[in-house]
Amino acid sequence: MARNDFESIKKAIDELGIEFVDLKVVDLVGRLRHLTLPATRFTRELLEKGVGFDASNYGYRTVEQSDMLLVPDLSTARVEDFSGERLLSLFCDIQQVKSGERVAFPLDPRQTARRAEEYLRESGVADRCYLSPEFEFYIFDQVDYAYDRNRVYFQVESLEAPWESSRGGFYLGPKGGYHASPPADRLMELRGAIVSYLERAGIPVKYHHHEIGGAGEVEIEVGFEGLLRAADNTLFIKYAVRNITHQHGKSATFMPKPLPGYPGNGMHLHQYLVKGGKNIFYDPNGYGGMSELGLYYIGGLLAHGASLMAFTNPSTNSYRRLTPGFEAPVAFTFGLANRSAAIRIPSYITDPETQRLELRTIDATCNPYLAFSAVLMAGLDGIERGIDPRRLGYGPWEENLYQLPPKERSKIRFAPSSLSEALKALEQDHEYLLRGGVFTEEQLDAWLKAKQEEVAEFYDKPHPYEYVLYYDL
């Protein structure tokens, strides 16, 4: 919806017969929240005053200081029609009132993304950061799970999987799904419905296909956008995927590792920087076509790799995906076309305008505003400090890093093996995030507290497999 002023949006509401306006906002950990207004309530006064809400339920504030305001960002307007009824959808900024004045709420993740983009411009390094995520997710025919005091289980069904008796002779093994064709690929039509919806919503899609996981893992890759818009789109894409699959009687999950023995879901993040209309990562004479600045950016990502994962891989389940052998990289290295490295430089890029790197560790349980901002800040720190990954032993590596002999493996730094390790790394290494006020100490404290509570909740409970291992000891 290419309208970002109040009058044109009001006109579209009238012309399309829209009855409701949906205000969307992200909570601290990255879940999408919303509230819905009658379209008659969408007025200039609402834009000026905002809509009050309780920020304590979003994880931002305690109850005694939780009054906040949602303020719609008109540039995010798009029309939704999941249920056949059209809604006007708007992402919102969070504001607070101080001394009688409305001011931006510093813990608002959208504000963090804005500050990151502003810091990039003020640094003089580049004008824009362009990002393109790959969305991997599983679509199950049925899912059920529970964690009670006396029972713990999950059960998923997929007509593509070999354990289904009604597969009609066509099924996909645990790692047999990559670019599978129908009829074994039973999800092509559904992916098409999702992609058509995203295209109508103004999100350019590069392609979709079946992914490696044979029990319904698929991928949708979208085009490049600026940092803030890419984060908005990430939330909207996850929202659209869940709603459309639900309408088709199925269930989608972006969990990094929903099934044991099957590949996990990543959200590989392609990225490059532009200054004066030129891609500053491109150098035809550099390694893999990458400029010195691009290599320094890689150096920053790898030098801060462990602390960065507190934002890019912020769930306990993230680290069940990060195991060797399933194309999930655990080595803090880079290389040309190397999918076993944390950072891959694609070898098939022939257009100088889109020379880029791909961060392969990140997954979709992240809060995209915070994760994308942290990625940019780590890369900029690499440029500003001239962190050359070649001199620090980060590569380039073009070998299969899963199959290195022990002597060679000892030369490599590896990713944290748990969320606890990543959070400890963030406590020790976060100065690069505070530059330019992009992140704040209060914000980092709130994030660490929320995630440490998740870890404590997780480890306070017995795991079902522990019964298999230890019940009879």
**Residues assigned a catalytic role:** 54, 134, 136, 211, 219, 268, 339, 358, 360
Whole-number CA gyration radius for the chain: 23
Quickly count: other Cβ atoms within 10 Å of residue 18's Cβ: 20
**Residue 261 one-letter amino acid:** G
H, E, C per residue of the chain: CCCCCHHHHHHHHHHHCCCEEEEEEECCCCCEEEEEEEHHHCCHHHHHHCEEEEHHHHCCCCHHHCEEEEEECHHHCEEECCCCCCEEEEEEEEEEEECCEEEECCCCHHHHHHHHHHHHHHHCCCCEEEEEEEEEEEEECEEEEEECCCCEEEEEECCCCCCCCCCCCCCCCCCCCCCCCCCCCCCHHHHHHHHHHHHHCCCCEEEEEECCCCCCEEEEEECCEEHHHHHHHHHHHHHHHHHHHHHCCCEEECCCCCCCCCCCCCCCEEEEEEECCEECCECCCCHHHECHHHHHHHHHHHHCHHHHHHHHCCCCCHHHHCCCCCCCCCEEEEEECCCCEEEEECCCCCCHHHCCEEECCCCCCCCHHHHHHHHHHHHHHHHHHCCCCCCCCCCCCCCCHHHCCHHHHCCCCECCCCHHHHHHHHHHCCHHHHHHHCCCHHHHHHHHHHHHHHHHHHHCCCCHHHHHHHCCC
Q: How many residues does the chain have?
A: 473
Best CA proximity match to 269, nearest among 179, 377, 419, 136: 136
